[in-house]
Amino acid sequence: MILSCSNICKSFGSDDIIKNASFHIEEHEKAAIVGINGAGKSTLLKIIVGELAADSGEVVISKGKTFGYLAQNQDLLSHRTIYEEMVEVKRPIIEMEEKLRELEISMKLAEGDELETMMSSYSRLSHQFELLNGYAWKSEIIGVLKGLGFTEEEFAKQISTLSGGQKTRVSLGKLLLTSPDIILLDEPTNHLDMSSIAWLETYLLNYKGSVIIVAHDRYFLDKIVTKVVELDSGKATVYLGNYTAYSEKRAQMRAIQMKAYLNQQQEIKHQEEVIEKLRSFNREKSIKRAESREKMLNKIEVLEKPTEVNDAMDIRLEPNILSGNDVLTVRDLGKSFGSLHLFSHVDFDVKRGERVAIIGDNGTGKTTILKIINGLVEPDAGEIILGSRVHIGYYDQDHQVLHMEKTLFEEISDAYPGMTNTQIRNTLAAFLFTGDDVFKRIGDLSGGERGRVSLAKLMLSEANFLILDEPTNHLDITSKEILENALSHYGGTILYVSHDRYFINRTATRILDLTNNQLLNYIGNYDYYLEKHDDMMAAHVHSQAAPDVSSPQPKVSEEKLDWKAQKEEQARIRKRQNDLKKVEEEIHSLETRDGEIDALLCEEEIFTDVAKLMELNKEKEAIAGKLESLYEKWEELAE
């Protein structure tokens, strides 16, 4: 055991944030701390590293062990360049290397005992230098910087000129290079693109020390952690396994807790009824029996009702108008900003019912594509064609569609003047804004709260084509899961940009990867994208090679063939899903009719009419035969 937290308590005013939280971390263990926004995750990290004092409880770190901590926001003050800042971390190794060079020069002139002493010091220092991987410190710095998304051209940038996100990446790099025994990371993926997150996953998986992570990136947690500490209503519960295992166990545990709670409530109600009945007899014996039962009832330790987190925010997104099959057509799209070339000759289509995710590294132009489709940015080349009856609902990651000076209530009522006060309050309550919350100014809300207001407006827009830019930014895990569920059952069409791989995996039916200034098409979710990525990239490179002018017919590239195969597979899956839906509807219709017949057979005017009785029984037999074959067909389609 390298770290132990025992009965940690922390309150701010009258709010109990953490109540008797206890858990431990083993050496080399990778653990996550999860919970809704405001559950106390960052507070707990600060208590562990000593930035914040606990009201009570104890944090014990094994003797001689070191830790490194990365807070969410870094205000890194330095006059150095990015590379120089990293080099400072390796200063002890550099000084050790300089000492070795000095000894090498001195040993050439030394003799006798002096030489023996120098050789002994050199041997000891050289061994220590090797243990610290001293010969590779330069390549280690370059590897970490490139892994975190910095190009070699950026190494010479001054720290003072960097954005907050870039400073956080530099701080993360410095922390990784120090190689402490315990790393504590608070939202480390917030400012990283997908390739950098994948690099960090590999780095942490191979890291020899222990790691504690607070993150909303569930795909990231799934890859790395083997233990999850959940903070819920101030209490800490430990689950073994990755995030998915935790999510499943949590659901099972909540179901068990809810069953126990409901059973106890039923028993309490039963006992109260019995006591009331005994008292109503108004006899000495019955009153004594009632008092005896009352004493037993008072001794019961009443269970708390488990929190129903997944029912807290109920989003329903349904279009009123059905669009045409061709929702969006993009042809030969190109865009540059000055000397910065983003993309060119981009072609893609979006069909009704698709959920398409655009992915790619930071700065490749994903958000720009969405803005061009919405008419907020003019393209340099190409055309955007919207299909018939297409109504766009746009969610902006910067929430520019919100008015900072308005209250939540005004924001909704001004946008939808036909809504009643009750309807507005009910809508906001579905997004966790209740009571006086509705009179808060938009400008006073957190990023996550503004995101929920934007989603509320989107829900009311009755759009049939949702265009979403980073919809899960600033949402806690629970809210993400609820949004995923809503979008997965949405009857319209969705095009979105996201870095949240778990979200993409749950919601996308197709992925467009913006790479090398062009879009590559993957017909599947994120797991499918990972499976096919290397093959697609190889095919893409092959298709970019100069064509053979001696060949009269141009060859169809592997990429095109793969795309065609994906398209056929998607069409096959879609047909099977449609067939399954039709079978389910037919089963429901027949089962409904079967129930109606059962009700009719109980009516006197029917069971006394032999002809009618035989007719209904014959129909019932026919329904039974049809249902039997439909059940078999459903099982076959559902496989």
Task: Compute the distance between CA of residue 536 and CA of residue 530 in angstroms, rounded to an integer.
Answer: 10
Of the candidates 375, 385, 392, 388, the residue with the CA atom closest to the CA atom of residue 319:
392
198-239 pLDDT per residue, tens: 899 999 999 999 999 998 888 999 999 999 999 988 899 999
Q: Which amino acid is at 518?
A: Q
Residue 7 has pLDDT above 90, yes or no: yes
Instruction: Please tell me what DSSP assigns to residue 303.
Output: P
pLDDT digits (tens, 9 = 90+) for 57-110: 999 999 999 999 998 776 778 888 999 999 998 999 999 989 998 988 888 888
The pLDDT score that the predictor gives to residue 578 is: 81
Mean pLDDT of 351-366: 90
Q: Is 254 helix (H, G, I), strand (E, B) or coil?
A: helix
Confidence of residue 387 (pLDDT cuts 50, 70, 90): very high
User: Nearest to residue 442, comparing CAs of 409, 413, 486?
Assistant: 409
Q: Which DSSP state fits 93?
A: H
The pLDDT of residue 283 is: 76
Q: What is the pLDDT of residue 308?
A: 57
The H or E element spanning position 337 is: strand 326-337
Instruction: For residue 472, give both structure tokens.
Output: 């899960």
Q: What is the pLDDT of residue 326?
A: 93
Q: What is the mean pLDDT of residues 564-586?
A: 76
Mean of the pLDDT values across residues 422-450?
A: 83
pLDDT: which is higher, 495 or 422: 495
| Residue that wins the pLDDT comparison between 141 and 164 | 141
pLDDT tens for 274-329 read: 888 888 877 787 788 888 889 998 988 888 877 655 444 555 667 878 889 999 99
The yes-or-no verdict on residue 594 having pLDDT over 90 is: no
Residue that the structure tokens 């009832």 belong to: 297
- Cα gap 208→68, rounded to integer Å: 14
Asked whether the beta carbons of 82 and 170 are under 8 A apart, the reply is yes
If one compares 538 and 265, the residue with the highest pLDDT of the two is 265
Express each pLDDT in 15-67 by its tens digit. 889 999 999 999 999 999 998 877 899 999 999 999 999 999 999 999 999 99
Q: What is the mean pLDDT of the chain?
A: 85
pLDDT, one tens digit per residue, over 485-536 is: 888 888 899 999 998 899 999 999 999 999 888 889 999 999 999 888 888 8
What would the pLDDT profile of 240-257 be if each residue is shown by its tens digit? Answer: 999 999 988 988 888 898
What is residue 549's predicted lDDT score, i.e. its pLDDT? 45
The answer to whether 353 and 324 are in contact (CB under 8 A) is no
Query: What whole-number distance in Å separates Cα of residue 52 and Cα of residue 267?
Result: 44
CB 536 within 8 A of CB 520: yes
Q: Quick one: average pLDDT of 472-481?
A: 76
Q: What is the pLDDT of residue 242?
A: 94
Contacts 24+ apart (CB under 8 A), 604-611: none
pLDDT greater at residue 154 or residue 611: 154
pLDDT, residue 15, reads: 85
pLDDT at position 442 over 70: yes
The secondary structure of 305-317 as a DSSP string is: PPP-GGGSS----
Query: What are the structure tokens assigned to 77, written together?
Result: 């003050």
Which residue segments constitute the domains of the chain, with CATH numbers given?
249-307 (no CATH), 326-545+554-568 (3.40.50.300), 569-638 (1.10.287)
pLDDT score, position 396:
77
What pLDDT is attached to residue 625? 83
* pLDDT, greater one: 614 or 558: 614
